[in-house]
Structure 1
Amino acid sequence: MTIAPLLPTPADPRLSRTVEGVDEHGQAKSISVIEERPLTIYLNRQEIVTAMTIGDYPEYLALGFLLNQGMLSEADQITGIDFDEELEVVVVRTASATNVEDKLEKKTRTSGCAVGTVFGDMMAGLEGLSLPDTPVHTSTFYDLSYQINHTPSLYMETGAIHGTALCHGLDVLAYMEDVGRHNAVDKIAGWMHLNDIQAADKVLYTTGRLTSEMVIKTALMGIPTLISRSGFTAWGVDIAQQVGLTLIGRMRGKKFTCLSGQHRLVFDQDLSQVPDDDKKMRRKGAQRD
């Protein structure tokens, strides 16, 4: 079964609104600003967390969050995901009872722009983890970077948002956005689980920093390669090296830096055929953020 790509919907009126103001010359100016709203996630009868999100794909976000926090496993049978738009609550239901108390006792605030939270031991699940040695061709990096940077998105309309894309070869399978990069990754995880998408031959591309949380979530999802146009944190690099994740950052124009998992790289791109970094586009994005 072929699944249609899931791409941003910047025209969705629920996700942004127009605000009137003035510019540096005192002239009237209208801009679009991103909406931000709370979403409370339940696992069966247990309230887990309230996340700030843009409000799209709440079912994917809730399921992906629970999977990435280790509160659900791939083996757990999901019997339903119910979203109440008025109450801004989503409930993930399972066939069997789950025990989440240990996870709830220990919380770690993360570096996410919307203040993420990781429950339990952040390194749980990484011990003994083995990621597939699927080779990745550098030629695909440049094609994917161009596609993602030129796809109509909320970032291009409003700024103040992060994007994450799941890719296979030259194809963008799902491109999610949110106020926190961790939310965007969780939406990808939920979408993959519900559509039975395998991770071994996939690449994850993010616009955000390559932090420990981003590396951990990517590794636990089983995706062997993570790419960003942004930079690294030292702990993110340490964890990537520990689990053998291919970690590529500062992907702009002809340039990128790989700090882990270099063994997967196939250097097949003729760099003379790659355009220089689009500085005009970078300035435009920087102004919006």
Structure 2
Amino acid sequence: MSNEAQTDYIIAPDPQAARLTRSVSGVDHTGSEVEARVVEERPLTIFLNAQEIVTAMTIGDFPEYLAIGFLRNQGMLQSDDVITRVDYDEDLETVVVRTERQTSYEEKVKKKTRTSGCAVGTVFGDMMEGLDRVTLPRAEVRTSWLYTLANKINTTPSLYLEAGAIHGTVLCCRDRPLVYMEDVGRHNAVDKIAGWMFREGVSAEDKLLYTTGRLTSEMVIKTALMGIPVLASRSGFTAWGVEIARQVGLTCIGRMRGKRFLCLSGADRVLRDMDPEAVPEESKKHRRKSAV
């Protein structure tokens, strides 16, 4: 990537970072010995003040943003909360987020423990409860922005292109990608974006969120709760994801590949200011498979 392209990002992936991948020996389809770079996966336990909240599996970069974003997206951090300190201990693999406000979420944590050891149902239910308070701005989206973003993002050096087995999420403004986060779980990548926005006081009303993952109900809900009015992806949709996007007024654009895309929510806000025939087809070198 050129120096000019690198300066487009406030935060960009660092596929050469030593802690994020390791080299593993194996054999290929011909039986030849090969060395492959594979993504690391490590636990991170998140505390809010004195209470342990959750342990997430993550690649290990930007742990502070991941912790803040997770707590924010689960409604445990309020928009007016003041964070006094964030302490990360690499050896203990813990992050402690401390706030001025006293917090207590024992019932929420107990509720998660009761769901057969899986927090997904509880997390999803808590997120659904906040949707009735969401009002998203009617943000215009230009097709020229979509084509420019797709080209910039898909040609950015990343862990996905280097090692695979990872999801990417990019916060964008118009045709400029701002913050590009990756993780083994697409929700972790979104939470890192949310944590950065909360920590840096970045507004959401003029932003677009791009993800390599599917546009599921959970991804739509998280985007809406963050106040971001546009969600785009290379991958496809789920029916419930589309239904919720229409309910909250989220512009939802999927299957973005080369000159093609599909908008299933908010199509009236898409301004076609560029002829698709003027858009070159994707280079096979940078063509991503849809993340699942």
Q: TM-score by structure 2 length?
A: 0.91
Match of 1:121 among 119, 123, 126: 126
Q: What is residue 91 of structure 2 aligned with on the other side?
A: 86
Q: Give 1:233 shift.
A: 1.1
Distance change (3 Å), C-alpha of 1:117 and 1:175: farther
Q: What is residue 172 of structure 1 aligned with on the other side?
A: 177
Q: What is residue 4 of structure 2 aligned with on the other side?
A: none
Are residues 1:187 and 2:192 paired? yes
Residues 250-265 of structure 1 aligned to structure 2 (within 5 Å): 250-265=255-270
Residues 1-289 of structure 1 aligned to structure 2 (within 5 Å): 5-107=10-112, 118=123, 120-279=125-284, 281-282=286-287, 285-286=288-289
Q: Distance in 2 between matches of 1:133 and 1:102?
A: 37
CA contact (8 A) 1:33 1:158 kept: yes
Q: TM-score by structure 1 length?
A: 0.92
Aligned-CA RMSD value: 2.2
Distance change (3 Å), C-alpha of 1:84 and 1:119: farther
CA contact (8 A) 2:170 2:211 kept: yes
Q: Give 1:125 shift.
A: 1.4
Distance change (3 Å), C-alpha of 1:4 and 1:147: closer
Q: Identify the structure with the greater helix proportion.
A: 2
Q: Which runs of 5+ in 1 are unaligned?
A: 110-114
The one-letter amino acid paired with 1:17 is: R
Distance change (3 Å), C-alpha of 1:220 and 1:288: closer
Deviating more after overlay: 94-103 vs 117-126:
117-126
Q: Which runs of 5+ in 2 are unaligned?
A: 1-6
Q: Distance in 2 between matches of 1:117 and 1:17?
A: 34
Q: Deviating runs (4+, > 6 A) in structure 1?
A: none
The one-letter amino acid paired with 2:254 is: G
SS in 2 for 1:42: strand
The one-letter amino acid paired with 2:224 is: A
